[in-house]
Structures are given as structure tokens and as C-alpha cells.
Structure 1
């Protein structure tokens, strides 16, 4: 499901919702009026489950909550053939009535978006429509589309009201003179002409040139991908200027800097002027510009020197740098460009030239950045290869056509006690530890081998040797190098425990994910056996594990497919605040339906996504869904709080912060109800970076929760350093003594930090004192508390 078509699909869903409700009513009526039938019950359960996933996907919060509650309740009845007690049937009937109320509320609302907030397009099309479903897709994206078959009719409408854009079938290109005469008259009166977008059945260069010469903003040829085409049209006619461009002006003359800044601000470009070139590097980290406008000749450091220094920083390699100077010597201009400059603007500055150059350079840089990502091939901490490169190399070897006399082995090196070490060390020490670890491993392997950092606490290794015992000997040498000799960091002697699992290809047709999964299972068995040992994956010794792994392989495909086609379901779980004025809270979780109809729970999805290096993509999807729901609820006039869990991987996702900022700004949602939750232990490995990330989120108005909070001194120390708004208790604390509960609660509340209770199946799994002291709980806990 493409992002551009979500609006259209939602309208289709709403249109057919009454029919689906009727089908649910029919099954329920049949189930309760006849003899209790387990097949009918399962059919009802499936219908409820399907509807719950779809309604949450489209942000229908109340409908989704009611359906999910019914799904959970029905799920408890599936294992029995007996008709439930009347109290249970009555409860389900009431839930069904609540569901009808929620659906009726949707019907009463104005479906579709407010046209006044969208865009107006005039579509001059041939009798045979070149893109049959384009109009409906645009209308689903809040665009009003007026169609015309004759240029003269279009001219008459242009005289009444100007659209944001003109869509024109290239088949009518030769008949457009009256249209362009009218557009020229508008320009002579100082009125900006609408964007011209051409749709063509042909790739002929001559047609494209004609369109370009008459001012085409966009030109698209068949075959058309409708969602992609819709998105590109919308971006052309209504460019997202919420994404304000940011330009850093480096100019030692304040008057020149102010002049350039004034010009750019008039063009809705955010600027920051720096008159001391020696402060540029510090400001770059804070301002994060889209482009640097730099004087060539400055005291202290000239533009060429600064550009050389800036280009040494990996994160600033691709940022456009445009020089400002009165220098007319072509050789000196070339010298300036040769060190990494992108363009040259001569003084005195011409406003139109400056704005055009800045806009074009930023747009081109963004296009290149999104179209051609170039991930690093080395992990910056360990110095080993990246996981992505490891899988690429493993895939290459597994599909190699040439037979090899060597045996291929994959090692999974699990570092079982690394999280414990993190608690008693700081982030700099952990980085040094991992750096030394990478050096030790690199020193033991051959040039043709490949070692990669897999996760925070595991390393992958790919090696080929003549015999299996050679590979086992290598694994044992690596284990001893890691475990037998302590790592000396700042006077500390730190010992890592390595549990190594090995899988051999054995001339079988295994995929790369199978190989890694097998070695990880062997590593888990090594850890379970006491750790600090090497285990070879064996079919006989891992029968139970092997079955689990076999089911994981299709799950990996399912997760990838759900990401590619955007077919995740969304579970919306209610949370209750103990404060009357705190508003409504919901927690969002991802869910997938397998081809067999089984639901895959969130924890399993996230574990699989992490294993296949797609966790960041799943978390972005979840974040995007949360923001969409908040946007919709705001338009309904309902203040809502959405809690989503994000991993430490989001901190390593270099573009995540800007992506979140763009999503919020586009909908003007800064500070309106988004809560992000991170595991406290996960953030402890890099506290400084985590703090900067959290600070940036809080500056956007996002509240922070730290999960698995243990309530000990170390946890409070990390909490105070990171600065969160909420904590979610570790389940280890749920049955604490009342005095301990009161002490932890008091300490948190004194720091104005609110307490979220972890979800439990039964209320007796949690001490009543926690329910009394907590700020946010699942509804049934509060209800039980109120009855007691």
C-alpha cells in the first residue's frame, strides 16, 4: 500500500464498512440463536480481527479499540465447544452495540478531507484519458480536479479562478496557444502562473523539448505508477514549504551577511549568519543547514580552507557549498570549486540569482541524497564491516556458480555479559571496549574473511576453510582471545564472555538468513549451557530450535513484504490516566496476519525486523501512523496522547530526527501528544548521544518515556541524566514491598516524572500499591482497583 493511496483506500474502507458490520451481525445472530458452533465463533473472531487491523490502519481509534477488546475477549472462548454463560454473551452484545455506536459516529462525520485545504487542479485531457484513475486518486488526496476537453473552455475558467496547477495531455500540445496567451497576460499583470505538468504517451525528445520551452514544471511519460505520479504532482503544485530550507551564511562583513540573509528570508528560507569563520564548525553541528553560503576571502580562515575542513567531516560531505566573492579570476574560481565547492556567485549579489541558485542546489542535493544512498561499509565503533555488507557478501558466496573446495562457515559471536558491563561503565569506555574487541577479531582472521558488527551485543563472521575443524579452531581462537584476556580500559580490567555458534553450508542450498539464524541458535545454546563456549549447529542437537527457526524464515519474508507493500496492521491499546485532566492515552503496536490467517504479535515482528536489519523501517512506519492518528484526532477536536516504542536503533538512524521534524511540521503537530518510549538499558550504551537525541525530540514537543525501569541507583542516575517525562516499570518490580513502592514513587514524583505500569494479563500479577501510585495504567487495572 503506497503512502499516496492511503486516503483513497480509507474512503473505500468507510464505504464498505456497513456491509462488513452487517456480516458480523449475521454471524453473531446465528451464533447466539442456534446451537453454539465453534466454527461460527472462529468465523466471527476472524471478521472482528480483520476489521480491527484495517480500522486501526486508517486511524479510526474508537472503532479499533472496541474491535480489539472484542477480539481479545473472543480469543479466550476459541478453545471450548461449550456455550458461554449468559453474562459473557451479554458482555459481547454490549461490545457489539458500542461498535455500532462508533461506526455510526463515523457516518455522521464529513468523510474525506476539507477541500478548501487541498489544491485546485485543472486537467486538460484528450477524449481517451491517458491516466484513467488519476482523478480519483488526486481527489482522495484532498485535491479538487476540474476536467476540460477543449483549450477554450479552460481559458474561460482561468479568467474566473487560477488553479494551483495545470495537468495537460501532450496529445493537445499543438492546441495550447490560447491557454498560453492567457497565462502571459496574467504574468504581465504580476500574477504567478500555475505550475504546468504534462502527461505523455511518448518518450520523444522533441515533445519534451516543446513542453520545456513553454515552461513545463513536470513532464511524465507512460507507463504510469499512479501513487507515485500523484505524489509527484502534489509536490510540484504544493511544494512542502513546511520543510523550510536552512542556509548558513559565512561572511565576515556584517552588512553583506545581512543583505544576503534578507533576500533569502523573503524567499521563505531560514538563515543564520556567522561573521567569525573560526566558529563555523561548532555552529554547523547545531544549525544543520541545507546549504552553506560562504565568502571566499575572510580573515582567520578563508573559504577554501574552511571548505576543506568541512569536507573532512563525513556528515557534511554532500552539503552544497556556494561561494560569494568579487573574484573575477577564472583560475582562482576553479581553485575554490576544486576543494569541494559547488557553485560561485559573484558580488554584487543579484537577489533573483541568489535565490534561484540556493533553491536549485538544495533541491538537487536532496534528490541525490534520496535517490543514491551510500551507506558506510565500516562500523564506526568496532572498525569491523557493517551488517548490510556482511549479508551482501554472504549472499554472493552462497549463490556463486563455481564449486569451491572450501567449506563456508558463519559464526555468531554473542557477548552475553556486555549489558552488565554497560551499567558500571560510561559510553566512552564502552566504545573503547568495542574498538579493542574489533581489533582483536580482525587480527585473527584472514584477508578474505569478513567480520561485521551485527547488533549491540553480537558479531558476525564469514570464513572459508578446507575443513570444518579449521573453522572450529578459528572459532575457538576467537573465543579465547575475547574471553581469556581482559580488556584494559581506563585502569579497569573488563572481561567479555563469548558464546559462539557456527553453521556450515554443507553443500546445502541455504539462504543467508538461514545461515545466520542457525549460527545464532547455536550461540543461544552455548549461552544456555553456561556461556563462554563454542557450539556447532546440528540438526539432531537443535530439533526444537530448528523448528522455531524454520518458521522464522517465512516470517522474515512476511516482514519484508509488509514493509514493501505497507500492509502492517495496527493495534491500538487504551491506557487510562489517573489524572482527570491528562487526556486520553493510547499505545500503538504493529501486527501482521500470516497467509494462514495467524496473527504475529508485535514482539515477534520487532525481533524479526531487527534480525533482518529492518527495525528502523518498522519503527518509522509506526511513528508515521502515530502522527497520522494525532493529526486526524486534532481535526476532530480531540486531544489524544499516543505512546509508541522505539529502539536504540533509531538513534543510529542519521535521518530519523529530520524525518520526524518534517512529519510534524507538515501537519503542524509540534507538541501535540506524541510520546516515544525507549528501553533504559538500551540507551545506556551511548548516554551522550542518547541525551542529544532525546533533547532534540523534546524540543519538538515529544514526551519521552524510559521502559524497564528498575528503580535502583544506577537507573535513577541514567534517568536524571537523560531527562525523561515518564518511566515504565520493569516487571521485576511489580511485586515489590509496599515501602519500596512508596519510596520509588515518591522519588519519581518529586522529579515530576510520571509512572506507567507495564501490561499484565491479570491484576493479581501486580502489587495493589503500584496501581495506587501509578499515573497511567491499563483500564481494567484501574477498574479492579476501584472495586476493591
Structure 2
């Protein structure tokens, strides 16, 4: 028998979960009937009314998710009635009303049999996963502009960052090429010689409209109408000539990094275990990591451990109110900006607004389709990542800023100490960089800085951490890296950078880098700041003794001890 694919395995789990849900639903309705029979028009029944509301609330949300919208709608009507009872004085509830309510729930059970026949005819369909390209992929960029000199210059600079380019001087040539191939990105000029705007012509180019290739527009004028049309086409960037090449390259890098970004992480807080497991499987099918929190009192420990990028939280749970849990999360500075989305069958707009005042970012109503849930979660996490990048990343290189990379060093050293693992911290500096700026200008210097940033992104492992420490100096964190691996990775970067050719007008030149690094295993008990000092000392020694070399801080310690 052929081995099942990941999607088929998840599909099996979803189908089993669905069958299990409907197998237990008749018992759940029986419990509703038993609970309702215990109701009395007394204050002592308030707790039972609250339990009844929670149980109906769960059915309202879960039944639709598992394929029965009719059952969900029936449960919602009952839930609203119970909610009204809870809001009004219990003395006004008559015994006849309770009997009628019991009869309605019994009818709900009869309706369930009819619903099962309908639901079983419909299978869940998974949303196709988007794993993105492998990190080792060579990206292809097409440059479309009738300015031959600009196309050649852009092609040269882009290829120096490790990309492949293809040049087009006419839209007709681009249209023909798109019929048989798609690039990873298109750089497209807005106005050609004949003064026709490419944004107008795109409506006549179904190949480009249907292409999955992101588009970045270039223009010599900054007109609002042109930007609107670019936005309608889905442009991922709009740059004004003369082009700021480092900024353009940075945007290109950001677009490609999104494709190879680590999996999104979602924490599900819902007391309905089957429904929570359904959501988890749906996220897994879309390559989103998801974990379920069963004990709300452990929410902060779970958040610190799992570090989710979004919390998906039910509003009503037996022991805790969702907004109260959200308020607890917001008490911790580290998680003050963590996106929290309520997912509930509550349809009262005023109650939704009240709930969001506790610090939630969105409110989704159960039942919700799998595709709608995925779209909402992806959009929210993507936006959070963009905002985080603006706050913590350097605008020129897109790498972590000084303070952020220092924090990252401290975090990784602490993690390594807990796990008893190794971590290497390296400091890197571009040799004779002042001479580059003085000779070729600061704009060219920015290109050199972007080039080393791009090379680091390409050559380091996906879980390594890179930051711009200041000016032409960078910090690299290599978790779980042995001495041999550290030397191999850093020397690979150093040697490759020395072969990159930069061009200024009619002249070409190359640059080199010096690197100093320190390993936590060589300096036990040292914190992040102390390890950075050791790496900086090694970097200073590398530059003082000839540049373009990699020095281990432990070597300096051994040399010092030998000298003594």
C-alpha cells in the first residue's frame, strides 16, 4: 500500500475528528436535557443557567465548523434565550417556559439525525499548503525598462547579490516570455518611450495579470493615479527614479524572505477540545504551527515557551472569561503587542466591542469556514511581522538593529545555558570602509553594506540571527554550532564576500571583512554582553594583524595565558 501524503494523513485525522464529534453529540444533548430539568425559577439555579449557556455556546460554534449549519443555527436560538434569562430576574421565568425549552432541546436531538445524513455527504477539503521555495533556491528577476543603460546597471548590481536576471526593453517581449515561464519577481517601468503607461497596458496583458510573480514598479514621476493603478494590480513596491538601489534591493530581499520565513505560530485557547483539535489540524494543513492550551492558568508559561505570533481565544469558557485572560497577557510587557483574536459564537455587537476593549485585536464569529479562519490568521500575523520589522530592524539592510541584536544575544546565551548547548557570537567589520566612502561616495558605501547583509542572509542557516551593530559592523549569532562549524560558516562568508565586485562609474573594486567570534563553551558563565566583548576583542585583533581573517577569542586567551 502506498504511503499517505501529509495532506492525506491530516484529512484522515479531520474525518475521524468529525465522526467522533457527531458520535458524542447525542450524549451532549442528553446532558443538556438533564441539566434543563434541574432548572428552577430560583436564584440558586443561576449557576446551572450559566453552565447551560456555555454548553449551548460550544455547540453553536462547533456544529457549523463540523459541517452542520442548521444545527448551529438552532443551538444559537436556544443560547440567546438562556442569555436573556441570565440577564433578567430569575423570578420572571415560569415553569411553562422551562418545559417549552426542554421540548425545544429534545427537538434539537431529533433534528440531529437528519443533519447527520446531510453532513456525512460532505467531506472536509484542505486548503492547499504553501511551503514556499527551498532556502537554496536561486531567484530569477526580470527587469523591464526601455532605458538600456539602467537595465544593464540594475542587472549588474542585482546579480552581485546572487540573483539571476533577465532583461527586457519592450512590453511585448515580456508578454511573450510570460506565456512559457514565470519569474520570481518583475521590476517594471511605468512609462516607456511611446509615453504609454504600463499600468494601462496591463489590462491587455492577461499573462501578467494571472501571473503569480510579485511586481515592483519604477517611475520617473510620483503620480497618485499611477500608484492607485499599481495597487489595483497588486504591486509590492513603487520606486521613484533615480532609484535608491540599496532600498530597492532591501525590498526585493524582504519579498523573498517572506517566502522562506519560518512557519507562523498560533496558540489556541478553547475548552471545546474537539473543535480546538479541528482548528489545529486545519492550521497544520496550511503549514502553520499550532498548539492547544487546555489549562488557562498556564497561559503565560505556554506563551513564554511556545512564543506564539497570535492567540486564538474563545470568549466563554467554564472557569474563565476570555477578555480576562487577554488582560492577564497584556500585563506582561513582552506580550503587550501580541495579537489576540477572539473566536466566539457571540453575535451581540456591543458584547464584541466590550470584549475587544480588553486588548484584543479582532473578533471572529463561530461558525467560521476553514478558509476564512486561515485568511484572517495569516493576514494578522503578516501585519504583526511587518510592524515588528519596522520597530526592530535597520531600514537600510533589514537586519536587526543594535538594541535588538544585543537582546537576541542575551536570549540565545540564556537558552544555551538552559539547554546546555553551544552558541557562537561573531562580530564582523568591513575593512577600510572609510576609504570606500571617501573614494566612491556614501551611496556606493550603502551598496557595499547591503551586499554583506544580503550575503549573510544567503549563506547562514535559517535559524541563525544577524544584526547591524552600527555603521559597517555586524553581529552574527550561531546557535548550536560547534567550533568547526563556526569556522566553516564564517570563513565561507568572508571568502565569498572578497570575490564580490562593486562598480562605481567606470571602475570596479572589491572589499574584504574581518571577523572575531567567541563561543559560550569557552567562556562559561559569561552573559551576552561579556561574550560580545570577547568577540569584539577578537575582531580588533583580526584588523590589527592584517585584516581579512577570522579570529577565535579563545585563541587570544590561550596566547595571553601562554605569554604570562
TM-score by length of 1: 0.36
TM-score by length of 2: 0.49
